[in-house]
Amino acid sequence: MGWSIFLLDILLAFGFLFIATLYGYLEQKSLSVGGMILSWNINDNLVAATLLPALLVLFSGVLIVNLDKLHFLNGLWLVGLYIFIIKSATLIITKRIQSIKLLNWIISGLITVAICYIFSELINYSKLNLKLSPSNSASIIWCIGTIAIIYLLVRILPTQIRDLNTNRRHIGTLYVKYFNQFKYELKTNFKKDELLQRIFFAILITEDLNRPSIFRFFERLVFPLGFIKTTGIMQVTNKNILSDSKSIVLAQDLIAKYYKEISKKNKTEYNRLKEIAYLYNDGDFYTELILYCYFTLTEIGAFNGEITNI
């Protein structure tokens, strides 16, 4: 395989992940590399991670055929492999590998590569029918049919193999780690009130999973450019660059304020928590993640650095 083919496949892989990241950022689904592909609690995540690279191979193959650059079809299936390798490396570098079901992740990678290979071979076999022209309806039918099949697979696969939910043991581990790391920054009311403490750590864990330390490092570097507004592990908005510890202190003031205001209202615990989470980060996706973490922390009996049921 020539260097030009290798370079194209790598560029396609990185381009795909960049677009997914941009989508995740704009939709507040995740800022992690891979956006919705790597987010840790999105419905259809596993299906998206498995099937979307195959669509990339399909569209790239059609474009290559119509540009008469047929030599680039050789090894096009490797795009799927490169995407999986880059995502896996990112999970390891950002220390998020424990937050997924590893067996599901590996299986999804193998399936991704296999489907990309099948698509690549089909494109090679059907290249004469992929020339887009008013008289060649076969290419249009071929593409629409493939997309329709993928959509049907997304809809009919059972939920248990579509999700890559963070397991409760990992959330418990993160809680103990961060309680011990930041316990001296915790204010008295957060040490005494279980609900207040758990909502605080639910927000912290959610923010950390979506913006690991390596991302926060780069956020601080580009902060002077003006387009980054939040820094620190708690992602607090401030005119100055915040350390993780400083963001912890400021976040407690915000959460305590929201907690006091909402506690005056006659609402269920779930609705109170949901409103606090939404005020802190006004995105439906983040709100659901925060609630997921909170009720997981409640289930395992997390309080003052201890967990009683994990």
Residues 71-78 have a mean pLDDT of 86
pLDDT of residue 199: 93
pTM: 0.67
Q: Of the given ranges (79-88, 115-124, 159-168), which has the lowest mean pLDDT?
A: 159-168
Between CA 148 and CA 128 the distance in angstroms is 22
pLDDT score at 67 = 83
- Average pLDDT across the chain, whole number: 79
Residues 6+ apart with CB under 8 A from 42: 29, 30, 36, 48, 163, 285
Query: How confident is residue 30, by pLDDT bands cut at 50, 70 and 90?
Result: low
What token pair was written down for 189? 């009311």
CA–CA distance, 132 with 109 (Å, rounded to integer): 31
Q: How many Cα atoms sit within 13 Å of 213 on the Cβ side?
A: 9
Task: Report pLDDT for 25.
Answer: 62
For residue range 124-162, what is the model confidence (pLDDT) as tens digits? Answer: 877 766 666 655 566 666 666 666 666 666 555 544 444
**Residue 89 burial (CB count, 10 A):** 11
pLDDT, average across residues 270-291: 83
Q: Is the pLDDT of residue 238 over 60?
A: yes
